């Protein structure tokens, strides 16, 4: 059995040119999402990812539905959205369910699905975090592609 605790993931040495990536993003808070999406696309292209598609859904709850619909055609999915806290319990329910359902899509399909959903107290926090998160999410996606492609048989 392979000991993956000592597995190094070095995305700089891998050829990602043949991987198919889908970015699923929300239409809510589009100006915030656009910043993250463009940053993620730029980062992915910097690693020679040549096939990047995107699809837009209304809100965070619909991210997992689109991910499940399209995952068989892609090697990995990056789900981008924002959930900004309001005055009701809706924020907690939506954030939890979005994370859980995206994780389930990944687990059931054995492919990486990255949770690129900002959960913030206000719009200013979301705008500030969006400036750096797109590239971070893209690197996470590449790291998970690398991890998923490792031979578990040892």
* Catalytically active residues, by annotation: 90
Instruction: Report yes or no: 22 and 53 within 8 Å, Cβ to Cβ.
Output: yes
* Structure-token pair, residue 20: 């198919």
Report d(CA 102, CA 62) in Å as an integer.
10
| CB proximity list for 26: less than 8 A, separation 6 or greater | 33, 56, 57, 58, 59, 60, 62, 63, 80, 81, 82
Report d(CA 67, CA 76) in Å as an integer.
9
* Structure-token pair, residue 75: 């090697």
**Tokens 């998970």, residue located:** 144
Secondary structure letter of residue 84 according to DSSP: E
């Amino acid at each position: 059995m392979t000991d993956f605790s000592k597995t190094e993931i070095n995305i700089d040495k891998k050829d990602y040119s043949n991987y198919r990536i889908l970015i699923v993003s929300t239409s809510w808070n589009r100006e915030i999402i656009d910043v993250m999406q463009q940053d993620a696309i730029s980062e992915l292209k910097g690693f020679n990812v040549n096939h990047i598609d995107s699809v837009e859904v209304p809100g965070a709850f619909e991210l997992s539905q689109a991910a499940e619909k399209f995952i068989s055609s892609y090697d990995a999915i990056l789900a981008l959205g924002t959930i900004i806290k309001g005055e009701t319990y809706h924020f907690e329910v939506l954030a939890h369910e979005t994370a859980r359902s995206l994780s389930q899509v990944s687990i059931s399909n054995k492919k990486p699905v990255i949770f690129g959903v900002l959960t913030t107290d206000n719009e200013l926090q979301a705008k500030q975090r969006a400036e750096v998160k797109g590239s971070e999410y893209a690197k996470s996606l590449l790291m998970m592609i690398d991890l998923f492609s490792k031979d578990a048989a040892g």
